[in-house]
A and B are shown apart, each in its own frame.
Chain A
Amino acid sequence: MIYKHQRIVFWCLVGCILLMATLLFLERQRGRERILSIATQMPMDAVAASTEPVTLDLANDADGSISGQQRQMALPVDSNARARALLDQLVAEYALPGSAHPLPQGSAVAEVFLLPLPVVGYTVNPAAPPLEDGSPATSPVASATPGPGPVNPGGELAVIDLRSSFVNQHPAGVEVESLTLLSIVGTLHANLPQIEQVRFLVDGQPRETLAGHADLLRTYPSRDTATPPAAQH
């Protein structure tokens, strides 16, 4: 004998189960659509970037030489990103066991900025009408102590912002520090010929030396730094 109230409870429970099943199904569908919408914004496969030959100017502490060596790398299109990828690869080679110019592991370069030469600043121009977004108009201002202009049209200054974690662990010595800087300059020159000058910062600030010796305040001319072994007599 099944009482009436028991039947009512039973059918209420059945209704709740069906309602919950429907809700679960709808939520599942909604979540699936959300995941699919995110997935469509991401590349489904790795970018089939073709590698290209690059030249790394690799230093050798044993004889003080720098030699250009070919590697195959997939490089970004953007020049700033290319420069940084090249330098990351260069430092990664130096961190390998058995390197001829051993350097600490880890990321050395925080950022690379490429600036058109001659370098100019900008000042607010009150005479000009404001821009569309409401910000005041600016006009270029030459430096009070202008540096050398570009040798060729389109020449650029590369500002390399090194990480202090890399600089603080760099081996000290005139030769070992000079080789690191010249290796960087030579690698940029070999692969990004529009770079004519190179400057260095550490954590965004000027610093006198790399590890007590090599000059980091100087503007280095971009050039082929591949050299035979230092003149030893």
Chain B
Amino acid sequence: MLAATCLGQTPASPPAQTAPQPAPGPLNRSVIVLDAAHGGVDGGSRIGDSTLEKDVTLALAFRLRSLLAARGFTVVMTRENDAALRPGAPGTALTLDDRAGIANHARAAACLLLHATGTGQGVHLYSSELDAVPAEAAVLPWLTAQAAWVAQSAQLEAGLGAALKRAGVPLVSSRASVRPVDSMTCPAIVVELAPEDDDRAGINDTDYQQRVAEAIAGALVFWSRQVQPPPRLPSDRAAAAGAQP
């Protein structure tokens, strides 16, 4: 009888073995990367008669850095002067790949590429056009490394967009292939600042820039708490070592 009871409690089939989920990669929730685009001889686009894009992006980056530092973030900037120079190599200009490398080493919660334009109004947000992949491979192709982070970037874009909307800033949200976003392994967004109205000189308005920066900084505080990095697949060597008894 006991045996029958025990037999009756025996499951008819063994429980299905679920494959272990790959662990997410490292992420520094308190680190934000600000890439003030252009710099040095690369002035970027000309906005109005006397404003260069490189000057607007650097000014916005400084505003954002102050606000983010006040909120407890560690801010990594790809350039802090007019010229973008490679660290440890004076006189050598920073390439777009160098900027992506700086961002990738930081393993930041968000990477913002700051641009400026004289066309359109308000803030234009762009995330990568790559097709999303569900997990981050151990070895990533440089030109499509962002693919595993596309979902996170889209969430960040939505968060920033909502904050800017609340701040009353005209907003355009879209996707575009902008170098070097596709090479970044972090939630990466291109933030392109345009004048608030038809007056192009208004892009230098300190109140306008401050309003934009405060909206972005506030959204990043919320974002840093909720961001989840994509799962990272083990390398073939690590998988082989783990399979050995």
Name A's B-contacting residues (CB within 8 A): 61, 64, 145, 171-176, 178, 181, 208-209, 211-215, 217-218, 220, 230-233
B200 within 8 A of A: no
Number of A-B contacts (CB under 8 A): 81
A171 touching B45, Cβ below 8 Å:
yes
A214 touching B177, Cβ below 8 Å:
yes
B42 within 8 A of A: yes
Query: Which of under 10, 10 to 19, 20 to 34, or 35 or more describes the interface residues of B?
Result: 20 to 34
Contacts of A174 in B (CB 8 A): 115, 117, 124, 126, 176, 178, 190, 192
Contacts of B178 in A (CB 8 A): 174, 178, 213-215
Taking CB atoms and an 8 Å cut-off, the chain B residues in 39-84 that contact chain A are: 42, 44-46, 53
Cβ of B123 to closest chain A Cβ, rounded Å: 10
A232 touching B171, Cβ below 8 Å:
yes
Taking CB atoms and an 8 Å cut-off, the chain B residues in 103-155 that contact chain A are: 115, 117-120, 124, 126, 141, 143
Contacts of B42 in A (CB 8 A): 212
Contacts of B96 in A (CB 8 A): 208-209
In the complex, which of the residues A217, A220, A230, A231 contacts B179, with contact meaning CB atoms closer than 8 Å?
A217
The residue of chain A having its C-beta at the shortest distance from the C-beta of B120 within the complex is A175
Q: Is the interface of A mostly helix, strand, loop or mixed?
A: loop
Give the 5 A-B residue pairs with the shortest CB-CB distance, closest first: A172-B45, A215-B177, A173-B117, A178-B176, A233-B171
Cβ of A137 to closest chain B Cβ, rounded Å: 33
Name B's A-contacting residues (CB within 8 A): 37-38, 42, 44-46, 53, 96, 115, 117-120, 124, 126, 141, 143, 161, 165, 170-174, 176-179, 182, 190, 192
A214 touching B176, Cβ below 8 Å:
yes
Contacts of A145 in B (CB 8 A): 141
Contacts of A176 in B (CB 8 A): 117, 119
Cβ of B126 to closest chain A Cβ, rounded Å: 6
The residue of chain B having its C-beta at the shortest distance from the C-beta of A219 within the complex is B143
- Which among B120, B126, B143 has the highest number of chain A CB atoms within 10 Å? B120
A-B contact pairs, 19 of them (CB 8 A): A64-B172, A171-B45, A172-B44, A172-B117, A173-B192, A174-B115, A175-B120, A175-B124, A175-B174, A175-B192, A178-B178, A214-B177, A215-B178, A215-B182, A218-B182, A230-B174, A231-B172, A231-B173, A233-B172
In the complex, which of the residues A171, A211, A218, A231 contacts B177, with contact meaning CB atoms closer than 8 Å?
A218
Tell me the complex Cα distance, A145–B144, Å: 13
Starting from the known contacts A61-B119, A174-B178, A178-B178, 18 additional A-B residue pairs (CB-CB under 8 Å) come to A172-B44, A173-B45, A173-B118, A173-B119, A174-B124, A174-B126, A174-B176, A174-B190, A175-B119, A175-B176, A212-B45, A213-B115, A214-B179, A217-B179, A218-B177, A233-B165, A233-B172, A233-B173
Contacts of A181 in B (CB 8 A): 177
A217 touching B143, Cβ below 8 Å:
yes
Cβ of B215 to closest chain A Cβ, rounded Å: 13
The residue of chain B having its C-beta at the shortest distance from the C-beta of A171 within the complex is B45
Cβ of B182 to closest chain A Cβ, rounded Å: 7
Contacts of B165 in A (CB 8 A): 233
In the complex, which of the residues B115, B117, B118, B179 contacts A208, with contact meaning CB atoms closer than 8 Å?
B179
In the complex, which of the residues B53, B170, B176 contacts A232, with contact meaning CB atoms closer than 8 Å?
B170
In the complex, which of the residues A61, A218, A231 contacts B174, with contact meaning CB atoms closer than 8 Å?
A231
Contacts of A173 in B (CB 8 A): 45, 115, 117-119, 192
Cβ of B51 to closest chain A Cβ, rounded Å: 13
Contacts of A231 in B (CB 8 A): 172-174
